[in-house]
């Protein structure tokens, strides 16, 4: 699945920017609170409006403190997937259950420096593992190939039947990096600048999907 990130879109025209990537599988929505990360973006009111403006399932990536308090509200607002950071959560399992109870998929995200081994057991409570391939906070950063062993490890756990999850990568995904992430075992690819920086965002989505597919089939 390809999930264009609206962080790189024009915030004054979000409905039109969603329409511009009609073939996308998920629309990635970066919620930043200026505490967990140094950047500030948007919150629940914008997600609610976006939900009404597009049929593309919303993939909310919460880079916020106290996700235990706020994450279920994004599921109630109609997000398809709500991902929060393990580094910020007080009770990740409880929060995952609340997200699922509100009707969304639950995602757990790890920053580049956070290992996944300590969380393999609780990942049975999640639908998505989001492996950050840049430090969260800003679009347009360089892809960190050094985190791909975490993607590989998650894929092994899935192949072994221990987990059932989407493995999503976020940060620096573009024509020249998506194959490495796909080969490592990712199956959801967030792309901000590579999609919204392109002359034709819908075409960029298709091109990324083709590259990921080729890499998976190799
Ligand atoms: C970064 C965000 C990403 C961002 C990716 O903290 O989580 O979703 O939009 O942007 P690109 O694809 O430009 O690296
Ligand atoms: Zn993101």
Summarize pLDDT for 163-189 with one digit per residue, the tens: 999 999 999 999 999 999 999 999 999
Which of 41, 59, 134, 198 is the pocket-test mutation for ligand 1 (most atoms within 8 Å of CB)? 134
How many Å apart are CA 44 and CA 60, to the nearest integer? 10
How many Å apart are CA 218 and CA 65, to the nearest integer? 40
- For tokens 């998976």, what's the residue? 216
At 218 the pLDDT is 77
CB of residue 140 inside a 6 A radius of ligand 1 = yes
At 169 the pLDDT is 99
Distance between start and end Cα atoms, the chain: 18
Which of 170, 174, 197, 204 is the pocket-test mutation for ligand 1 (most atoms within 8 Å of CB)? 170
CB of residue 4 inside a 6 A radius of ligand 1 = no
Active site (annotated) includes residue 170: yes
pLDDT tens digit sequence for 74-110: 999 999 999 999 999 999 999 999 999 999 999 999 9
CB of residue 170 inside a 6 A radius of ligand 1 = yes
The residue from 33, 59, 127, 170 that is catalytic is: 170
DSSP 40: B
């Amino acid at each position: 699945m390809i999930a264009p990130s609206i962080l790189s879109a024009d915030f004054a025209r979000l409905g039109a920017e969603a329409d511009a990537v009609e073939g996308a599988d998920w629309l990635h929505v970066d919620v930043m609170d200026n505490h967990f990360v140094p950047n500030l973006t948007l919150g629940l009111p914008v997600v609610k409006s976006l939900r009404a403006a597009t049929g593309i399932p919303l993939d909310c990536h919460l880079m916020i403190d106290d996700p235990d308090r706020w994450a279920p509200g994004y599921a109630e607002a109609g997000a398809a997937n709500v991902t929060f950071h393990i580094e910020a959560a007080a009770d990740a399992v409880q929060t995952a259950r609340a997200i699922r109870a509100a009707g969304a998929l639950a995602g757990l995200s790890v920053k580049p420096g956070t290992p996944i081994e300590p969380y393999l057991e609780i990942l049975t409570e999640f639908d998505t593992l989001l492996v950050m391939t840049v430090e969260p906070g800003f679009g347009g950063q360089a892809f960190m190939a050094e985190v791909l062993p975490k993607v590989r490890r998650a894929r092994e756990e899935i192949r072994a039947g221990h987990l059932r999850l989407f493995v999503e990568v976020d940060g620096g995904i573009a024509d020249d990096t998506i194959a490495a992430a796909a080969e490592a075992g990712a199956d959801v690819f967030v792309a901000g600048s590579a999609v919204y920086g392109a002359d034709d965002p819908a075409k960029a989505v298709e091109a990324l999907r083709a590259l990921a597919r080729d890499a998976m089939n190799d």
